Amino acid sequence: MNPIDWGVFALYFGGVVAFAWFQSRKNEGVEGYFLANRRLPWAAVGLSVMATQASAITFIGTTGQAFDEGMEFIQIYLPQPLVMVLLCVLFVPFFYRAKVFTAYEYLENRFDPKTRSLTSFLFLVSRGLAAGLVLYAPAIVLSVIMGWDETVTILVMAAVTIAYTLMGGITAVIWTDVIQMLMMFVGIGVALFILFTTLPSGVTVTDVAYIGGIQEMWTSIDWSWDPSNRYTIWSGMIGGFFLALAYFGTDQSQVQRYLTASSLKQSRLSLIFNAFVKVPMQFFILSIGVLLFVFYHFEQPPLVFNNAEVQVVMESERAEDYQALEVAQSAVHGERRASTLELLDARHSGDMARIADLQSTISGQDERLVELRQEAKAIVSEVRGASSNDVNYVFPSYIVKYIPAGVLGLLIAVIFAAAMSSLDSELTALSSATVIDFYKRWFREDASDAHYLLVSKISTFIWGVLACFVALYAGQLGSLIEAVNEVGSYFYGSLLGVFLLAFLWKPANGHGAFWGLVAGMGSVFGLSLVTEIAYLWFNVIGTVAVLAVGIAVSAFTGGRDGGRASPA
Amino acid sequence: MDDQDQRQEEDERGPIGIFPNWAAVYWSVVIYTAVLIAVLWIFTVVLNYSVR
């Protein structure tokens, strides 16, 4: 990066910290620290909800995914507007009127302490590790692409985020999320604009759509019923619906956001805002990936985008095989570039016979390039002994090579913003669950507000340090983290089942909820061992299992025996 | 019922921006989702230049 880029980057960091400090003066006590004294407007809450979900990997990973597989990933986001409606109708009124600090606190009001503690514990385990990955994933990408030291990148991101979260609690977090989300909007717009300007002169928007269409990159809806196919309209609308409902309705990092709104109406409006904006935003992020696919028809892409992986191969005995693939790729790319330019000429002059012929030629060349890339990735996997995943490197490697000075600093800042806006939310959510669901519930029930505020800040700091630790050692932890993450995906649907049982089934009791949760997680885990069902369906299975077992156990144990009155 | 609860009850009943009530807001989101799927489907069909 040149001095202009560093200037933009420094401006971003300075602005975030100053703004957080300015906002932090308005907090009062623990309720101020965790819930901003319930006085924030819907627009700020809505943008924070969006920023929490959009991590750095959302920004750089989904563009890479669209580069490889097109727009089909958008289907997972399509049910989100409907999820927001269900949250407004069912979830938000229960949480808001119960005046709880955490989603799990509500479960004790409705069921019993063991259900609350188990759900909160599951949240702490999964989110505690996820907070580390939120730091690790962009840091490793930036270290490979920019040559930055991975440890320094992690520590700088973490130190700034921990500092402003400690200083201003949720108020600082939400208002910095607002800035960070607005930066992401600007970054998406700038990236799309720059991509268009770096195409050869004479290539129009319709040409871009056309070239992408030859390889079906714009295919956004897949009506097929194959349950092993990861992204179809059905897995998106059904599995994605349950996943989004579990995430927005039961994950403290999201619930905490809409509990900060100044009224139930403001809380609902923040979610309705997301209902209208989220899908178009994701459409534009994925479009960046398809535009990159088109862009690399004219510029030669690397065979594998992760330089670190390539270097390992070059030092192995498979180096010659890899180099042979690179030579082949270069030749096919040259031919495809010529064919593409010829096709655009034929298209502009209306030569239909030539168009059909060239389309077929380019389609074959596209497929050959995909094969070469897969062969190269297979070599990387063989040499490294782990699967190659360079999806996260596609967009960053483009911006480093082709983006002009100043704009590069902005886009790197956007990647940082995406990571930090997710991490800050995780820290406040982890801290609130630790203090409210465990410390205050089980250890010190009657301490002063000042005491809880101090413990909350200590808890935030400890979770921040833990996230750093996980991020710094994530490379070595490797398969352990993947395993924990995978297990995490097993209980999301089950958590949702417990909340639905609480809201929808009046005779349900604590025993039903607890054993339903255990059965839900067990059934998902068992099915994952014996079938190859796409992960999105696990959420549906988990939810249904909890409801079925929860209702049955509640009936056999005398109905609503130990639960307290529902606050709704 | 305290002031806050009363204010929230009023929120529930009053108009929501350009919408007369919450039900209208929710239905607009449902229709919006259907339109999104339709637009993406048209997008999928119209921009498919595959020769396969």
Cβ neighbours around A368 below 10 Å, total: 17
- Alpha carbon of A519: minimum distance to chain B alpha carbons (Å): 33
The pLDDT of residue A455 is: 94
Which value does ipTM take for this structure? 0.90
d(CA A91, CA A103): 10
What is the residue-wise DSSP string for A172-206? HHHHHHHHHHHHHHHHHHHHHHHHHHTSPTT--HH
Query: What's the pLDDT at B11?
Result: 65
Residues in chain A with CB shorter than 8 Å from the CB of B41 are 220-221
Does A14 score more than 60 pLDDT?
yes
Model confidence band, residue A104 (pLDDT cutoffs 50, 70, 90):
very high
Q: Which residues pair with A40 in a beta bridge?
A: A261
How distant is the Cα of B39 from the closest Cα of chain A, in angstroms?
A: 10
Alpha-carbon gap, residue A515 to A555, rounded angstroms: 13
Q: Are A164 and A23 in contact (CB under 8 A)?
A: no
What is the three-class DSSP state of A232? coil
User: Contacts of residue A221 in chain B, CB cutoff 8 Å?
Assistant: 37, 40-41, 44
Q: Which chain A residue has its CA at the smallest distance from B35's CA?
A: A78
Reference A283, options A203, A215, A366, A192; nearest CA is A192
Specify the pLDDT at position A289.
93
Nearest CA in chain A to B5: A97
How far is A559 from A520, CA to CA, in rounded Å?
Answer: 20
How far does B14 lie from chain A, in Å, by closest CA? Answer: 10
- A161's CB contacts (< 8 A; 6+ apart) are A420, A423, A424, A427, A464
Residue with tokens 């059965």: A519
Chain B's closest residue to A88, CA to CA, is B26
Assign B47 to helix, strand or coil: coil
Asked whether residue A534 carries a pLDDT value surpassing 80, the answer given is no
**By the CB < 8 Å criterion, does A300 face chain B?**
no
Is B32 in contact with A79 (Cβ distance < 8 A)?
Answer: no
> Chain B partners of A268 at a C-beta cutoff of 8 Å?
22
Contact A275 B32 (CB under 8 A): yes
pLDDT of A23 higher than 90: no
Give the whole-angstrom CA distance, residue A9 versus residue A3: 10
Give B41→chain A minimum CA distance, Å: 6
- What is the CA angle A158-A159-A160, rounded to 5? 95
Nearest CA in chain A to B3: A263
**Would you state the pLDDT for residue A565?**
40
In the structure, what pLDDT confidence band is assigned to residue A499 with cuts at 50, 70 and 90? very high
Range name among A6-10, A141-145, A267-271 with the lowest pLDDT average: A141-145
Q: Is A558 left (phi over 0), alpha (psi -120 to 50) or beta?
A: left
Nearest residue on chain A to B14, alpha-carbon basis: A265
* Contacts A269 to B, Cβ<8 Å: 16
- Lowest model confidence (mean pLDDT) among A65-69, A88-92, A138-142, A453-457: A138-142
Of all residues in chain A, the percent with pLDDT exceeding 70 is 95
pLDDT in tens, A367-404: 899 999 999 989 988 887 766 667 878 888 888 888 88
Determine the residue of chain A that is closest to B4 in CA distance.
Answer: A263
Q: CB distance from A405 to chain B under 8 Å? A: no
Q: Which of A82, A215, A360 sits opposite B30 (nearest CB)?
A: A82
| Partner residue opposite B32 with nearest CB, options A89, A276, A360 | A276
Say if the Cβ atoms of A265 and B36 lie within 8 Å.
no
On whether any CB of chain B is under 8 Å from the CB of A269, the answer is yes
State the alpha helices, DSSP H only, in A433-535.
449-477, 479-504, 510-530
pLDDT band at A3 (very low <50, low <70, confident <90, very high): confident
User: Which residues in chain A have their CB less than 8 angstroms from residue B44's CB?
Assistant: 218-221
For B40, the closest chain A residue by CA position comes to A220
List the single residue in B with minimal CA-CA distance to A217: B48
Average pLDDT over residues A354-359: 87
Beta carbons of A363 and B33 less than 8 Å apart = no
Q: Do B30 and A210 touch (CB under 8 A)?
A: no
CA-to-CA dists, residue A427 to A139, A431, A456, A466, angstroms: 18, 6, 10, 10
**Token pair of A169, please?**
């609690």
Residue with tokens 């352990």: A480
Tell which residue, A369, A379, A357, has the closest CA to residue A312: A379
Tokens 């969006």: give the residue: A50
Q: Measured between alpha carbons, how far is A388 from A310 in angstroms, rounded to an integer?
A: 10
Contact residues for A71 (Cβ-Cβ < 8 A; gap 6+): A217, A218, A219, A220, A283, A286, A287, A290, B40
Segment A453-466 mean pLDDT: 94
CA angle A384, A390, A394 (to 5 degrees): 155
Cβ contact, residue pair B43, A213, below 8 Å: no
CA-angle at A132, arms to A292 and A124, nearest 5° = 125
- Contact check, Cβ <8 Å, A216/B22: no
Shortest CB distance from A264 goes to which of B11, B37, B52? Answer: B11
Q: For residue A59, what pLDDT is reported?
A: 78
* C-alpha to C-alpha distance for A178 and A306, rounded to whole angstroms: 32
- pLDDT at position B4 is 62
Q: Which two tokens stand for residue A459?
A: 């808890």
For A303-333, b/e burial (b = at least 16 CB within 10 A) is bbbbeebbeebeebebeeebeebbebbeebb
A111 phi, psi to nearest 5 deg: -115, -95
The beta-carbon contacts of A199-206 under 8 Å, at least 24 apart in sequence, are A199/A294, A199/A295, A199/A298, A200/A298, A200/A341, A202/A344, A203/A298, A203/A344
Q: What is the pLDDT of residue B52?
A: 56
Q: Are A424 and A433 in contact (CB under 8 A)?
A: no
**A294 falls in which pLDDT band (50, 70, 90)?**
very high
Q: Do A263 and B36 touch (CB under 8 A)?
A: no
Give the closest-approach CA distance of B35 to chain A in angstroms.
Answer: 11
Q: Read off the pLDDT of residues B18-29 as tens digits, 9 standing for 90 and up.
A: 899 999 999 999
Q: Count the Cβ atoms, other than its own, within 10 Å of residue A469.
A: 13
Max CA pair span of chain B? 67
> Which among A71, A221, A269 has the least Cβ separation from residue B37?
A221
Q: Which chain A residues are Cβ-neighbours of B36 within 8 angstroms?
A: 78, 81, 279
The yes-or-no verdict on residue A480 having pLDDT over 90 is no
Using alpha carbons, select from A80, A130, A56, A85 the residue that is nearest to residue A285: A56
Shortest Cα distance, chain A CAs vs residue B48, angstroms: 5
Contact A214 B49 (CB under 8 A): yes
Residue type, A404: P
pLDDT of residue A564: 47
Beta-bridge partner residues of B19: B16
Tell which residue, A218, A216, A244, A239, has the closest CA to residue A227: A239
Contact call for residues A196 and A291 (beta carbons, < 8 A): yes
Q: What percent of chain A has pLDDT over 90?
A: 38
Distance from A83 to chain B by nearest Cα, in Å? 10
> Which ranges of B1-52 does DSSP label H, i.e. alpha helix?
3-13, 22-46
Nearest to A373, CA basis, from A356, A391, A361, A353: A391
Mean of the pLDDT values across residues A325-332? 94
The yes-or-no verdict on residue A229 having pLDDT over 80 is no
Report pTM.
0.87
Computed over every residue of chain A, the mean pLDDT equals 87
- The answer to whether A91 contacts chain B (CB < 8 Å) is no
A236-275 tens-digit pLDDT: 898 889 889 998 999 999 999 999 998 999 999 999 999 9
With cut-offs at 50, 70 and 90, classify the pLDDT of residue A477.
low
pLDDT in tens, A48-71: 999 888 877 777 888 888 998 899
- Token pair, residue A526, equals 């068992």
